[in-house]
Each structure stands twice: as structure tokens, then as C-alpha cells.
Chains A and B, each alone.
Chain A
């Protein structure tokens, strides 16, 4: 456990079918909270707190969107203790998953069914669920979304995540599994985030939509970046179980001059293929509008 923002609440609420016997404090590992510029990369230790990231001058200079995203996560007090590693590895906020006393033993906890499919899914995925194995030969689907504040920004910037065992591209890091939201294996921990400094990190824009300005998870967040050749990268959070790449919109925008009509088309393209459930169709319109606005503001 590092900042404890995710795990401590989950333990207090007794949401797991089984308790861990031991919790290891990784907060005291020296050097794991450094933020430095090295070999053209911003290197952020996984234990760096969101507040440290939000006020760090190196990040503000070369990856301002990351400062902005970190400065909007949760609340100012909570940002002092919660870490970037925890923000990336956090479990979903699905209310069935989080219900007190393991009331709903859902597929993400190794259970039989996803309660959000037939239940209240107003905050869930609009791009379908993601299948994973809960047991050998048993495939299940979870439709809870990834609500990490920093994930879309880091993926757009082309970050690399270093773990104790390997180095993973940011967009390959997120996954869905039993008690897991990443591809990390047992005993493997995230140690460092490396962001290549360049056009994608400097020109990145971040936008979140949430009901409250503070102490709230984003309903939708997105990051957009482009290089000078007109190659765009657009990733959306809060719409799918992992950060969602708006590939249609990227293809449409490639090499084009921005105009209000094009931005609108790109917004529509970003939402193409959305299959909302009965309670979350509003997110489709949010995606269209946010993408359009952010493209015009670039």
C-alpha cells in the first residue's frame, strides 16, 4: 500500500470476498518518489504524490497537461498523500463492485455475474465491456470504466511504465482482470513512469467532465495531442474499461487543417461505434462535444 486512497477505503468497506493477510507498506522505499528530467524523458517515481506532480516545475514546463490533470484529481488534501502509481492502478468505482460488505460478488472479484449489465449503469462503459478469464475456460465481461485521472494524458504522451520486471507501453498497461486493473502480475509493482519530452507532451490538452469540481471522479476525461505533421492522438477515460483510443477521429484529422466543421466531424467519429446501455447514452453526446471543443481550443 502506498497512498492508500483506493485500498484503505476498500478494506474498511469490506468489499472483498477475502481479506489480504498482510499489507506491505511501500511508501518508505527511498528514491521511488523522485521527479527528474533525464535523457529527454521526464521520469516520475511511482510514489510521487499527485500534489508533487501538480506543482513540479519540470512537469509544468514540458508536460503541462499532466500538471493540470494531477491538480484536478480528488481533493487538495487527498492529493498530498495519493500517488501517481495508485492513480494508474486503481480499481473501478463501479458501485456494485464497491458495495459494502461484498454485497455484490461481481465478476471483478471472481464472482458469477456483472450486476451493472442489468442494473444501474449510468456511469458505466459506452464502448462495451471487456472480457477476461475469472477461471480457466471461464470468460466474463466487466463494464466498469477506468476513471484514472492521469491515464489518458500519459497514454497520449506516449509514456512508458517501468515495473519491477519489465517496461510496458502506456496503452498496453491497462487491462481488466479479477482484482486487477492492469497487466501487472503477482508481486510486480509499478516503479517509474517515463514520459518522452516532445511535441506530444508539450501540445497535449486535458479536459475532464465531472459533476463537482473537487472530490469527484471524472465522468469523462480526455487528452488530445498532436505533432507538427498533423498526427493526432486522442484518448478518452471514463468511457470504457481501459482508456479508449478514438482511432476513427485520429484517422479523420490526420494532416488536416482544423476547422469547426472538421472538429464536429471528429467529435462524431470519436463516438462512432458507441453502444451505450440504457442509462448512459448521455455520455455519447459528452464525448462528441468535448472532443469538438478541445480540438478547436488547441
Chain B
């Protein structure tokens, strides 16, 4: 009996129905708007056209990400977050709510903190985008990252890149923020682990350290 292992203890007349209950077709189970498996592959897969909807065409996009110019052919339905991940392999900006409500996907676009899940990449032609990877590569911001580590301003860490980018955007504009200003600037980011007080502690310490080193 090759099929023994999939049968329920209580047998009914309709085995076929049972089988489909126990072993659902995984593919059908996925909600319609889940990205398909191709999209989930590690990011630096080259331009994978299979996840575009029928009838969609690609559009050209020239974008400067972390100081490097990129000329891409992208699907018009992709958000900036998805292009950063699937086309450029930058997985720092995280997709959590995907509705612009949590701040995990924050990037800096033309100097302003922007939610990359809430903007279509096709609109970003000619823009300059800075992601958490770009910030981490600049020695000037090492004290900020060190302070985040020292104060342990994270638990699961999923929201941390968004917080860090928002903090950097704040420090660009206001190099000596008060705790209140920090809290206000980070109020668009949600951390479900509740590490909020540590973020302001870490940023305040980074500000002190950077002032000592003469970076700001």
C-alpha cells in the first residue's frame, strides 16, 4: 500500500478528497498577492522577468544607489524596496507592513527619509538613494552603529535598519538633536520588541562621540 502513510485513521469512502485535504497543493495555498518563488531567490539574481504580470512591460530606470549609478530594466509594478532587493541585491531595507506604516523600509532619497515600500520604483528615475548598506560603509557613521551595538538597541533586529536610516537622516539635518527631537524623528518607525528608549540612548551617545572626534 504505497499510499498508507497519507491516510487518516478514520477512513471514509472518498479517499481522493482526504488526500487533497492532507497534502494541499502548496502552490494553490498561497494568497494571490504573495511573491512567487522566483522573487524570493537571493537578491543578486539577475533581472528575473518571470514575476511580472501578464501584459506588463519593463521600463528603464536610472538610479543612483549608495553613490553608484545603475541603469536597470524594471517592471513598473515593483516598489523601490523590491527593486533594491531583487535587482540590486540590497536587503537592508526590510519589508514588514508593506503599507508605509512601520518604517522598516526607510531609505534616504534626495536627502529625505522615504518609505521605499510606498513608492513605485518607476517614479524614482534620476533620484539619489542611500540605503543602510551605504551608511554602514561610511566610516563617519561607525560611531552610530557602534552605539547601536553597545546599547543593544534591538531584539529581533528586523526594524533596526529602518531606525538607523531614520536616525542618519535626522543627524544629517540636525547634528545635535535633543532626546525629544530624536523621539519625534523616529516616531515613524515601529519596533514590536519595544526597544524605543535604547534607540534614543544610542543616538545621543553617537552624537557625543562624533562631536568628540570632530566628525560633525
Residues of A within 8 A of B (CB): 1, 4-5, 8-9, 12-14, 25, 27-28, 51, 74-78, 80-81, 101, 213-215
Give chain B interface residues in 182-196, CB to chain A under 8 Å: 184-185, 187-190
**Which of the residues B31, B100, B112, B184 comes within 8 Å of A9, measured between beta carbons?**
B100
Chain B residues in 8 Å Cβ range of A5: 100, 118
* CB pair B118 A81 closer than 8 Å: yes
* CB pair B120 A8 closer than 8 Å: yes
* CB pair B120 A215 closer than 8 Å: no
In the complex, B119 has a CB within 8 A of chain A = yes
Chain A residues in 8 Å Cβ range of B103: 75, 77
* Binary flags per residue of B163-188, CB closer than 8 Å to A gives 1, else 0: 00010000000000000000011011
Counted as pairs of residues, one from A and one from B, with CB atoms less than 8 Å apart, the total is: 69
* CB pair A77 B166 closer than 8 Å: yes
Q: How large is the interface on B (under 10, 10 to 19, 20 to 34, 35 or more residues)?
A: 20 to 34
In the complex, B106 has a CB within 8 A of chain A = yes
In the complex, B39 has a CB within 8 A of chain A = no
* Binary flags per residue of B23-41, CB closer than 8 Å to A gives 1, else 0: 0000000011100000000
Q: Which residue of B lies closest to A71 (CB)?
A: B184
* CB pair B119 A76 closer than 8 Å: no
In the complex, B99 has a CB within 8 A of chain A = yes
* CB pair B120 A78 closer than 8 Å: no
In the complex, B114 has a CB within 8 A of chain A = yes
The CA of A213 and the CA of B31, in the complex, are separated in Å by 33
Chain A residues in 8 Å Cβ range of B119: 4, 8, 81
In the complex, B123 has a CB within 8 A of chain A = yes
In the complex, B115 has a CB within 8 A of chain A = yes
A-B contact pairs, 17 of them (CB 8 A): A4-B118, A8-B100, A9-B99, A12-B99, A13-B99, A25-B122, A75-B101, A77-B166, A78-B101, A78-B115, A78-B118, A78-B188, A80-B114, A81-B114, A81-B118, A214-B188, A215-B187
Chain B residues in 8 Å Cβ range of A76: 113, 166, 184-185, 187-188
Chain A residues in 8 Å Cβ range of B99: 9, 12-13
**Which of the residues A25, A27, A215 comes within 8 Å of B188, measured between beta carbons?**
A215
The CA of A80 and the CA of B127, in the complex, are separated in Å by 15
In the complex, B98 has a CB within 8 A of chain A = yes
CB distance from A207 to the nearest CB of B (A): 19
* Binary flags per residue of B82-116, CB closer than 8 Å to A gives 1, else 0: 00000000000000001111110010000011110
Chain B residues in 8 Å Cβ range of A77: 103, 106, 113-115, 166, 188-189
* Binary flags per residue of B4-32, CB closer than 8 Å to A gives 1, else 0: 00000000000000000000000000011
Chain B residues in 8 Å Cβ range of A14: 32-33
* CB pair A80 B123 closer than 8 Å: no
Among B32, B114, B123, B185: residue with most chain A CB under 10 A: B123
Chain A residues in 8 Å Cβ range of B79: 8
* Binary flags per residue of B48-87, CB closer than 8 Å to A gives 1, else 0: 0000000000000000000000000000000100000000
The CA of A1 and the CA of B188, in the complex, are separated in Å by 22
* CB pair A80 B187 closer than 8 Å: no
Chain A residues in 8 Å Cβ range of B32: 14, 101
CB distance from A251 to the nearest CB of B (A): 39
The CA of A225 and the CA of B119, in the complex, are separated in Å by 36
* CB pair B118 A75 closer than 8 Å: no
The CA of A260 and the CA of B80, in the complex, are separated in Å by 53
Given A28-B123, A76-B113, A78-B188; 4 other pairs, CB 8 A cutoff: A12-B99, A25-B120, A75-B189, A76-B166
Q: Which residue of A lies closest to B110 (CB)?
A: A80
* CB pair B123 A75 closer than 8 Å: no
CB distance from B132 to the nearest CB of A (A): 14
Q: Which residue of B lies closest to A2 (CB)?
A: B123
Q: A4-B119, A5-B118, A12-B33 are in contact. Are A78 and B187 (CB under 8 A)?
A: no
**Which of the residues A13, A28, A51, A81 comes within 8 Å of B115, measured between beta carbons?**
A81
